[in-house]
């Protein structure tokens, strides 16, 4: 089954108002004419208003890097699904390793965020992936299965209909040391196969992005792999020309 690729930029804690506007203007001109790949950006939530305005007339979709499980009330510092929707955000990253590590987010808590996003009609981009130690101990598949199962056990496999998984091995994030296309493909095939044990139809349509040091030099080869449906890009998403090369590589490989 043909899946439409999705390349998404995770800007993390970077940028300001003018950077946001300028990067989006540059992305709009670099990506004009791309129609075989979905493209999304997740700027810091502070700049969603600037991003929403700058994206008017563009096919680039808006996302965010996190969300709270609560919709309203006394939850100081949190941002709800409805607030993200209010700014036109669609793809919401949850379970990023930086949040699992620095904010001690558990599998169960992340599954609640997944539920909140589905309830709101937003698209969860569920990040999973093993640490270097887990990788060296041969636990990659076990870790990925556990992180996926926390959602399946809470919500059922159908929750992955229309959702996105980003396989991001922690040892590859921000290190310049991407997984090889073969390494990534092997884990992506495992993830899809794991979901297929519950539902082949859900497994066939779920978008599985690779993330971890994706750049303009290595993207094309990653996208030749059948179960790599796009990328979640950190550092290289902050430069319009590099991000555009990655998007166009996905479009070329998957059409």
- In sequence order, the 6+-apart residues with CB closer than 8 A to the CB of 27 are 39, 41, 58, 60, 240, 243, 244
- Least separation in angstroms between residue 164's CB and ligand 13P is 12
Number of residues that bind ligand 13P (CB under 6 A): 14
- Least separation in angstroms between residue 213's CB and ligand 13P is 4
Q: Which of 67, 214, 246, 250 binds ligand 13P (CB under 6 A)?
A: 214
Nearest-angstrom CA–CA distance, 103 and 129: 16
Using alpha carbons, select from 32, 135, 123, 126 the residue that is nearest to residue 84: 123
DSSP output for 29-89: HHHTT--SSEEEEE--GGGHHHHHHHTTT-SPEEEES---S--SSS-TT---HHHHHHTTE
Q: CB nearest ligand 13P: which residue?
A: 234
Nearest-angstrom CA–CA distance, 209 and 247: 12
Provide the mask over 78-117, with x wherever binding to ligand 13P is found by CB under 6 A and - wherever it is not.
------------------x---------------------
Q: Which of 192, 234, 249, 254 binds ligand 13P (CB under 6 A)?
A: 234
Q: Which member of 50, 98, 105, 168 is catalytic?
A: 168
Q: Which of 24, 39, 92, 173 binds ligand 13P (CB under 6 A)?
A: 173
Nearest-angstrom CA–CA distance, 254 and 229: 8
| 233 touches ligand 13P (CB under 6 A) | yes
96 given a catalytic annotation:
yes
For residue 231, the cross-strand partners are 7, 210
Pick out the residues of the known binding site.
10-12, 174, 213, 234-235
Catalytic residues: 96, 168
Interacting residues with ligand 13P (CB under 6 A): 10, 96, 168, 173-174, 211-214, 232-236
């Amino acid at each position: 089954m043909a899946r439409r690729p999705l390349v998404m930029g995770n800007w993390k804690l970077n940028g300001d108002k003018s950077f946001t506007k300028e990067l989006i203007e540059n992305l709009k001109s670099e990506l004009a004419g791309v129609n075989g790949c979905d493209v999304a950006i997740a700027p810091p939530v502070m700049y969603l208003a600037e991003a929403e305005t700058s994206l008017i007339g563009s096919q680039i979709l808006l996302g965010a890097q996190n969300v709270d499980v609560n919709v309203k009330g006394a939850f100081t510092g949190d941002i709800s699904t409805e607030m993200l929707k209010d700014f036109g955000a669609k793809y919401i990253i949850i379970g990023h390793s930086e949040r699992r590590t620095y904010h001690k987010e558990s599998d169960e808590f992340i599954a609640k965020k997944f539920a909140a996003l589905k309830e709101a009609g937003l698209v969860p981009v569920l990040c999973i992936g093993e640490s270097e130690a887990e990788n060296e101990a041969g636990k990659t598949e076990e870790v990925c299965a556990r992180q996926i199962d926390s959602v399946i056990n809470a919500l059922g496999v159908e929750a992955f209909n229309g959702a996105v998984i980003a396989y991001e091995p922690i040892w590859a994030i921000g290190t310049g040391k991407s997984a090889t296309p073969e390494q990534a493909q092997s884990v992506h095939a495992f993830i899809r196969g794991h979901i297929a044990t519950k539902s082949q139809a859900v497994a066939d349509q779920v978008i599985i992005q690779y993330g971890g040091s994706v750049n303009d030099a290595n993207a094309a080869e990653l996208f030749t792999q059948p179960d790599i449906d796009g990328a979640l890009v950190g550092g290289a998403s902050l430069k319009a020309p590099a991000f555009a090369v990655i998007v166009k590589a996905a479009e070329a490989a998957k059409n």
